[in-house]
């Protein structure tokens, strides 16, 4: 989290009116929501600059709803504090429940959500690609999905996919796939265990929740239907409602097991799409 002195100095210098009237809660919400939406903000930054990127209009509109100030004030805040947001750690601020509620309720209107899921790499990783190592700037797409979590219920999220024109590879939050329209195309999963597993096109399961599902199925011999019912009745309370299916539970169980096994073996992680 940036030092309070830095924040107050920036506000008193570049945003005097806001400095006099902005509450601590509003300032905290601005930082927390901006950190959550950072992938949607930084992906718009030109490849050739390291300057603080401007706020996309749909992000600015959503932050205006979140912080309860006009969009012009959000732009002023970003101009004064944007580089401090970029330097902050993702979980420096904790106003999670409030942020979840507001972003879940208003996010979809702006094509966003309570979280933004995107590939961990921003450059092409295909060794033979003529654009290898270059920023993924082509044909960015987004769509709405649901994230099933252990502690925060079901959250509407925005999923961003990136594309490399050089090798026609699509980069998704969990994996990349070349020539995705080809029935024989294979998914190359990113290294490490993803924080959220894509179990259907519009459903993601938090890795922490995947561990719970694995424990229930492996040790309690619970069926996927029962696991889904337990989650829907006991853990899914939250700002969004979208029941978990038995299919998603089974997909979570197998995908987590396969990814964990490949991590332990140090093997490449491919499967047909």
Are 123 and 133 within 8 A, CB to CB? yes
User: Which pLDDT belongs to residue 170?
Assistant: 96
* Extents of the domains making up the chain: 1-112, 114-273
**247-268 confidence digits (pLDDT tens):** 999 999 999 999 999 988 887 6
Mean pLDDT of 58-62: 96
Q: Quote the crossing angle between the two packed helices 71-87 and 4-14, to the nearest 10°.
A: 150
**Alpha-carbon distances of 257 from 146, 180, 223, 232, 260, rounded to whole Å:** 22, 24, 17, 23, 5
How many CB atoms neighbour CB 142 within 10 A?
A: 18
Tokens 């140090």 belong to 266
Question: Counting every residue, how long is the chain?
Answer: 273
**Model-level pTM?**
0.77
Q: 151 pLDDT band (50/70/90 cuts)? A: very high
Mean pLDDT of 42-49: 69
User: Which pLDDT belongs to residue 96?
Assistant: 67
Q: How far apart are the C-alpha atoms of 259 and 235, rounded to whole Å?
A: 25
Closest alpha carbon to 228 in 144, 148, 155: 148
Tokens 């919400």 belong to 29
Are 189 and 268 within 8 A, CB to CB? no
User: Which pLDDT belongs to residue 89?
Assistant: 62
User: Which pLDDT belongs to residue 185?
Assistant: 93
User: Which pLDDT belongs to residue 109?
Assistant: 87
Q: 92 pLDDT band (50/70/90 cuts)? A: low
**187-232 confidence digits (pLDDT tens):** 999 999 999 999 998 999 999 999 999 999 999 999 999 999 999 9
Q: How far apart are the C-alpha atoms of 146 and 39, rounded to whole Å?
A: 17
**164-184 confidence digits (pLDDT tens):** 999 999 999 999 999 999 988
């Amino acid at each position: 989290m940036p030092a309070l002195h830095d924040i107050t100095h920036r506000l008193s210098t570049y945003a005097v009116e806001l400095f006099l009237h902005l509450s601590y809660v509003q300032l905290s919400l601005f930082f927390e929501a901006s950190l959550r939406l950072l992938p949607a903000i930084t992906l718009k930054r030109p490849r050739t600059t390291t300057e603080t990127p401007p706020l996309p209009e749909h992000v600015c509109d959503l932050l205006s709803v979140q912080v309860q100030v006009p969009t012009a004030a959000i732009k002023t805040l970003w101009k004064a504090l944007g580089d401090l947001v970029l330097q902050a750690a993702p979980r420096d601020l904790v106003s999670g429940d409030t942020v979840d509620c507001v972003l879940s309720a208003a996010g979809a209107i702006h094509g966003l959500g309570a979280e933004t899921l995107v590939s961990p790499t921003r450059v092409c990783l295909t060794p033979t690609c003529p654009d290898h190592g270059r920023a993924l700037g082509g044909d960015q797409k987004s769509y709405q999905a649901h994230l099933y979590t252990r502690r925060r219920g079901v959250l509407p999220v925005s999923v961003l996919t990136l594309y490399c024109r050089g090798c026609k590879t699509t980069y998704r939050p969990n994996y990349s796939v070349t020539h995705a329209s080809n029935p024989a195309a294979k998914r190359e999963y990113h290294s490490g265990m993803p924080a959220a597993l894509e179990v259907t096109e519009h459903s993601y399961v938090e890795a922490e929740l995947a561990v719970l599902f694995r424990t229930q199925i492996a040790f309690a011999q619970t069926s996927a239907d029962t696991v889904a019912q337990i989650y829907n009745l006991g853990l899914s309370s939250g700002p969004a409602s979208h029941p978990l299916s038995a299919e998603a539970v089974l997909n979570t169980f197998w995908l987590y097991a396969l990814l964990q096994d490949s991590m332990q073996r140090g093997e490449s992680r491919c499967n047909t799409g």
